[in-house]
Amino acid sequence: MGKRNYPVPLEELAFMEVCQMVRGAGGNWTRRLRSAADTGHSSWLQEVKSVEEECVLVRAHLATLPVPLVSEYIIFYAFQEFIKLIEHYYHHDPRPLISRIIDRQVHESVCINMLKAVILPCISKCDISVTYSSFVQELLIKFLYAIPNIKTLILPSLQRPRHVQLLVERIQILTHLENFSFHTCCTTETIIQLSKYCPHMKKISVQGSKRVDDGSVEHLLKMRNLLSLNIAETSISGNRYAALLPGLPEIRDVIWFRPIEPVLGNLTACLPSVVAFIGVISDAKLLVQKCPNITHLLLYSPSQDISDLGELKNVVSITIQNCSYTEIRFSDVIRRSGSTLENLVTVDVDNIHLDDVINYCTGLRSLCINYCHVTCTEMFHPELPHFQNLEKLKIIGNGGEITFCSVLHLYVNLTVLHFVGMKHITDAVISQIVKAGGFRNLTEFVIDHCGYVTVETAWLLMQNCPNLTKIGKFNSWHDINNQELVRFLNFVRRNNVCLTLHP
């Protein structure tokens, strides 16, 4: 039987109550505004006034709460919830009623005041990356003046030039900014403003922004505290990127989706601070020479021999995508660097030799194999370090000679296990593994669109995996009996088992 649910701590209860109150207030306001608008113009204006008065009261109430609780939890939650509420309200507002300019201004004002009610100056992170409404995007950019202390700003693509210009004008008030992410639509003028007014910048990501060009390089060079810079797929040339990298003494990553060799070839010295590379390579030896301290690699579509990467002494994470394991001689990399590797991800890779991973990746903590062809020729000793140390295993839609079923019980310390699109994973297979002593330390088990799996598997896991707290995704199981599922869920509730089923 799994662990019991413990009583919810008082602090968490208080947090939940305040969040519920805040969300309830937002829902109540938007419902009342819509209802009043249906009644008529004067009723709507009266309700706007009433809502704005209540916004002031909610803001005053939140301001009395302890700052860490408000800034780290409640405000972050409320911010995301209110964005959704206002997006929904905007898409269902009475358009004929706000056709006049003055009414549009009133409409915008009440939306801003609803946001202002839950967003206090103590907030440190503003993430609006999943905001799709142009109206709400503009509101939020205008609203930046009210949160001048934010350290992180993550923006969506702003398709309207006036929104980008509005952002440029607001940057001068964000003097505490450290992390800035604005993909696709960033401009050189935005970079210029960041260099002028944001002296603490540590991370900039403007991937895919074609209006960021070579003119931005001289301004990026002024931000000498930068630790991370993603200018991949911008209009910055390889020559200027090569001039930029040595001028950022703290830079820790190289992110470049075009061939990196022309960039590295123009460097007169190595980059000792760089620990991560994301991009495309054809000359692994050059990468090792120029970035000898790399610990994290993400390689897109390598097609050449990359065995020289085995010379890297401190690699802890490797991701390779869309390639042939044998053609790029990845076995050589694994055999030389496997002992330090903690995380390995393969996506759309042919002919993976699982023998190499098991024999040489002795300290591996996490293994994710997605849409790959896997082979295995050996029988393995159950006490191999690889089996003892792996904690997370995710297998998605793989083919090849091995189904992993024969070795799963050997992973005695797995805590997270995901199967996606694996027809071989069935009730019978899971039962065999559990009977062989497997899965005893699992906390999370996800089965998504696999073989014949029923509620019997959920019962089996709950009874034999004492640390299990999550099972998913049962909506994709082909043979779920609703009556049996209800019986299982009722048992979990009655016995207060700390276990959640995710659809």
Q: How far is CA 484 from the centre of its chain?
A: 35
Q: How confident is the model at residue 37 (pLDDT cuts 50, 70, 90)?
A: confident
Q: How confident is the model at residue 377 (pLDDT cuts 50, 70, 90)?
A: confident
- Tell whether the model's pLDDT for residue 69 goes beyond 80: no
Q: How confident is the model at residue 78 (pLDDT cuts 50, 70, 90)?
A: confident
Give the model's pLDDT for residue 5. 66
Angle at alpha carbon of residue 445, lines to 440 and 446, rounded to 5°: 160
Please tell me the distance from the alpha carbon of residue 50 to that of residue 44, in angstroms, as a whole number: 10
Q: Report the mean per-residue pLDDT for the chain.
A: 91
Task: Provide the 10 A C-beta neighbour count for residue 62.
Answer: 21
Q: What is the mean pLDDT of residues 22-36?
A: 90
- Which pairs from 224-228 meet CB under 8 Å and 24+ separation? 224/248, 224/249, 224/250, 225/200, 225/201, 225/250, 226/201, 226/202, 226/250, 226/251, 227/202, 227/203, 227/251, 227/252, 227/253, 228/202, 228/203, 228/204, 228/252, 228/253
Type of residue at 434: V
- Tell whether the model's pLDDT for residue 451 goes beyond 80: yes
Place of tokens 């301001």: 63
| Residue 58 backbone dihedrals phi, psi, to 5 degrees | -65, -45
- Tell whether the model's pLDDT for residue 97 goes beyond 60: no
Q: What is the mean pLDDT of residues 140-169?
A: 94
Structure tokens at 100: 């006049």
Report, at the CATH architecture level, how domain 124-251 is classified: Alpha-Beta Horseshoe (3.80)
Half-sphere exposure of 152 (CA within 13 A, CB side): 10
Q: How confident is the model at residue 21 (pLDDT cuts 50, 70, 90)?
A: confident
Closest listed residue to residue 190, CA positions, set 202, 255, 174: 174
Domain 403-503 has CATH 3.80.10.10: yes
331, 353, 354, 474 from 377: Cα distances, Å: 14, 8, 8, 34
Task: Provide the 3-class DSSP secondary structure of residue 93.
Answer: coil
Place of tokens 């820790």: 252
pLDDT digits (tens, 9 = 90+) for 3-19: 666 666 766 776 777 77
What is the dihedral sign for C-alpha 340, 344, 350, 351?
positive
Query: Which residues on neighbouring strands pair with residue 501, listed in sequence order?
Result: 471
78, 99, 110, 139 from 49: Cα distances, Å: 22, 19, 8, 19
Percent of the chain scoring above 70 in pLDDT: 94
pLDDT digits (tens, 9 = 90+) for 333-376: 999 999 999 999 999 999 999 999 999 999 999 999 999 999 88
Which residue spans of the chain are classified as CATH 3.80.10.10?
124-251, 403-503
- Tell whether the model's pLDDT for residue 99 goes beyond 90: no
Longest dimension (CA), the chain: 80
Reported pTM: 0.91
